[in-house]
């Protein structure tokens, strides 16, 4: 499954976004599911600012977005065979895999032994990650408990000018959050059913429950 290239105008916004991420800033951007808020995954002060901005309790882990399977292996301590099987079928796309966490992932992102990882199927998100040269935190661009934003205008309505940049890539094509599957047990377990249905997952591998 390929990802198209951003337009020239979007490329300029992405360049600005990468510069802001490198300085520890927060950038909103479109994905294939909903708009996301991103910071460098390895910048702990930036991650803490993101928690405060979203009004999200730090006890709730944040997901990480990566550009490819090589970066997924960087943030995961182990890639179980079933994770590779699901990734081959649904990534890039609206599937978030909960994997054993590698030592590179800061405690502030997840206080547990696992980490949630996704490869988005959107050129802007991929361009930001590749431009930064490292994974980014990619949580939904909304205040905790509020609806996810599907347009740049909806991001502005919740955050105003408190972000370093909002990249306007139009309305998100998916409109629904990713499906989250924990692959750290004996069988994959669906933690949240989103854009990819349980039935679609079961066509690839047996699920718990």
| Neighbour-count burial of 39, counting CB atoms closer than 10 A to its CB (0-12 exposed, 13-18 middle, 19+ buried) | buried
CATH topology of domain 8-202: DHBP synthase (3.90.870)
Query: Are the CB atoms for 31 and 141 separated by under 8 Å?
Result: no
Report the C-alpha dihedral over residues 158, 159, 165, 166, rounded to 10 degrees.
Answer: 0
Give residue-wise pLDDT tens across range 25-42: 999 999 999 999 999 999
Q: Distance between CA 184 and CA 164 in Å, rounded?
A: 35
Tokens of 55: 């009004």
Q: Distance between CA 127 and CA 119 in Å, rounded?
A: 12
Domain range summary for the chain, segments of one domain joined by +: 8-202
Query: Sorting pLDDT into bands at 50, 70 and 90, what band is 175?
Result: confident
Bridge partners, residue 117, by sequence? 64, 97
Give residue-wise pLDDT tens across range 40-51: 999 999 999 999
């Amino acid at each position: 499954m390929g990802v198209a290239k951003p337009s020239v105008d979007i490329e300029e916004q992405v360049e600005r976004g990468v510069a802001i991420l490198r300085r520890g800033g927060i950038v909103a951007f479109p994905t294939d599911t909903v708009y996301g808020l991103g910071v460098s995954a390895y910048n702990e002060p930036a991650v803490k600012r993101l928690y405060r901005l979203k009004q999200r309790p730090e006890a709730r882990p944040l997901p990480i977005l990566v550009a490819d399977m090589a970066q997924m292996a960087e943030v995961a301590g182990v890639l179980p065979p079933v994770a590779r099987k699901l990734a081959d079928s649904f990534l890039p796309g609206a599937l978030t895999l909960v994997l054993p966490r590698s030592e590179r992932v800061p405690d502030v992102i997840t206080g547990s032994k696992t980490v949630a990882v996704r490869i988005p199927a959107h050129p802007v998100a991929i361009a930001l990650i590749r431009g930064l040269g490292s994974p980014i935190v990619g949580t939904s661009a909304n205040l905790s408990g509020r609806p996810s934003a599907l347009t740049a205008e909806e991001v502005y309505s919740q955050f105003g000018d408190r972000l370093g940049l909002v990249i306007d890539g139009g309305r998100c094509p998916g409109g629904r959050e990713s499906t989250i599957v924990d692959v750290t047990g004996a069988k994959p377990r669906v933690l949240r059913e989103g854009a990819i249905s349980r039935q679609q997952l079961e066509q690839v591998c047996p699920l718990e429950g």
